[in-house]
């Protein structure tokens, strides 16, 4: 992996004085994590995309959690100087534009070549990016991208049971919690007797090298292979009548055609996902834009627990080994007492991942409902325009850790954040003295088209022709 600084864009002093300079971000600065905040239209997604591109160009594998459907656009990095490659991905033709598709493609190609050239990115740079990166889009519960077996840690035995049983147990617990949430039952590992029983039955099978698929667990509920749980008999711990009700509910879930999609596809194995192959650096985009809020929380809770288990299995390092990016974390890291299944692993990653060389970047456009205490020690902050006083106060509190600061300086900072132009951010980096300054990210190599329709995603993955019906103005979300 190269140690070259990320070519992020340009910077200037917060007061506007001094010459505009290049904004280069040393990769190891992100080991202490980053936070990106900005309202709709501030350029936040562009900044996230550029960060991912630079990480990939530096050979840093990336795991990307996509809630809005924008980041599958990482698949789209057509060569410079090639109108034919760009034409299928042009935005819809605007009213009054009499140009043909070929004419629009030629003009868009010239503009893109010029914009990237202004940042010293050449056709060779883009060709190298295409040749040395591998972008995968995984869509749990859908076949638009790669489907995901969400219960992999339960139904597909992990090698972690030999090398790191504690991490394997944590991932198993998250999968059992997901099953119980789908059944409408208490998923808490510490309080739920049903969780304890299913986890004990599953771990017994997995430690013996057997399958712990749902059908096998259903059989174990009907004919228990154990007589005791802890210091109690099984009957005293969970009577037969309650075990029977649990097995009936589990069978109903197992028989559901809708649920079957969640048990197909690639295995949930973050370590394998982020392992470079054939000299290409992986970027794995897990897109949940097509799911409802409850489904997103459940799936991402399992994913983040698996990610945390992988991080803890790594040897320590101070260099940036991998980057985890969560775009639009609003609702998944709320303040106390809310506790969605995503909150615990996010907080644990923010506290522990740096020791293993894994950086975490969290982004949101809604700062009011975030647990900023868990973000206060993030080393890098990028703050785009925020419209309300409450949003600005919340962010500044997180930026300063809630400590006392110069009131005049705080007021000037709030005013600056409120008046930022699109694609400009207030940047603070604890590695260079904490003094904030203004930055503007460079243009992205990949195309920023907004959420991709199902057919477009399949085409970008090479499975279909690009659907031209998108020109009608009606576009589905990803998956």
389-440 pLDDT, tens per residue? Answer: 888 888 887 666 555 556 777 788 888 888 899 999 999 898 887 688 899 9
Closest CA to 297 of 345, 264, 259: 345
In eight-state DSSP terms, residue 207 is H
Tell me: cis bond preceding 199? Omega within 30 of 0 counts. Answer: no
181-202 pLDDT, tens per residue? Answer: 889 899 888 899 999 999 999 9
d(CA 437, CA 34): 16
Closest CA to 360 of 48, 56, 34, 27: 34
What pTM was computed for the model? 0.89
Question: What residues contact residue 395 under an 8 Å CB cut-off, 6+ apart?
Answer: 37, 367, 383, 386, 417
Domains of the chain plus CATH, in order, are 6-90+135-147+284-472 (3.40.50.300), 149-262 (no CATH)
* Tokens describing residue 38: 């900005």
208-243 pLDDT, tens per residue? Answer: 988 899 999 999 999 999 999 999 999 999 999 999
């Amino acid at each position: 992996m190269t140690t070259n600084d990320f070519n992020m864009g340009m910077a200037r002093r917060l007061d506007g004085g001094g010459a505009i300079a290049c904004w280069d971000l040393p990769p190891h600065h992100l080991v202490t994590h980053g936070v990106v905040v900005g309202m709709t239209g501030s350029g936040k997604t562009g900044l996230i995309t550029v960060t991912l591109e630079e990480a990939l160009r530096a050979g840093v594998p990336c795991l990307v959690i996509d809630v809005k459907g924008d980041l599958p656009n990482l698949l789209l990095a057509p060569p410079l100087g090639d109108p034919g490659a760009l034409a299928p991905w042009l935005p819809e033709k605007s009213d009054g534009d009499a140009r043909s598709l070929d004419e629009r493609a030629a003009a868009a190609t010239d503009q893109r070549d010029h914009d990237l050239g202004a940042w010293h990115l050449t056709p060779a740079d883009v060709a190298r990016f295409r040749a040395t990166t591998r972008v995968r889009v995984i869509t749990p519960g859908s076949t638009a991208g790669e489907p995901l077996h969400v219960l992999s840690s339960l139904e597909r035995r992990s090698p972690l049971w030999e090398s790191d049983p504690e991490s394997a147990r944590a991932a198993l617990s998250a999968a059992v919690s997901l099953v119980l949430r789908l059944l409408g039952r208490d998923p808490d590992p510490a309080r739920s007797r049903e969780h304890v029983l299913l986890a004990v039955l599953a771990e017994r099978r997995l430690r013996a090298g057997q399958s712990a698929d749902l059908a096998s667990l259903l059989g174990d509920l009907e004919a228990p292979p154990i007589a005791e749980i802890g210091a109690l008999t099984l009957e005293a711990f969970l009577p037969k009548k309650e075990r029977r009700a649990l097995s009936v509910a589990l069978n109903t879930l197992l028989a559901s055609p809708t649920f079957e999609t969640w048990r197909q596809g690639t295995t949930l194995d973050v370590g394998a996902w982020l392992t470079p192959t054939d000299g290409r650096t992986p970027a794995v985009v897990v897109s949940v834009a097509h799911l409802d809020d409850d489904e997103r929380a459940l799936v991402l809770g399992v994913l983040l627990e698996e990610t945390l288990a992988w991080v803890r299995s790594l040897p320590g390092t101070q260099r940036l080994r991998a980057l985890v990016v969560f775009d639009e974390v609003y609702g998944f890291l709320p303040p106390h007492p809310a506790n969605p299944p995503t909150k615990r692993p996010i907080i644990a990653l923010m506290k522990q991942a740096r020791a293993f060389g894994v950086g975490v970047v969290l982004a949101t456009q809604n700062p009011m409902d975030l647990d900023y205490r868990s973000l206060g020690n993030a080393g890098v902050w990028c703050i785009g325009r925020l419209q309300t006083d409450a949003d600005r106060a919340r962010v500044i509190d997180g930026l300063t850790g809630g400590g006392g600061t110069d009131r005049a300086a705080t007021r000037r900072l709030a005013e600056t954040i409120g008046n930022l132009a699109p694609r400009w951010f207030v940047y603070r980096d604890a590695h260079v003295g904490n003094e904030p300054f203004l930055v503007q990210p460079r243009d992205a190599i990949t195309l920023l088209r907004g959420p991709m329709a199902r057919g477009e995603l399949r085409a970008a993955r090479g499975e279909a022709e690009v659907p031209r019906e998108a020109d009608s103005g009606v576009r589905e979300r990803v998956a």
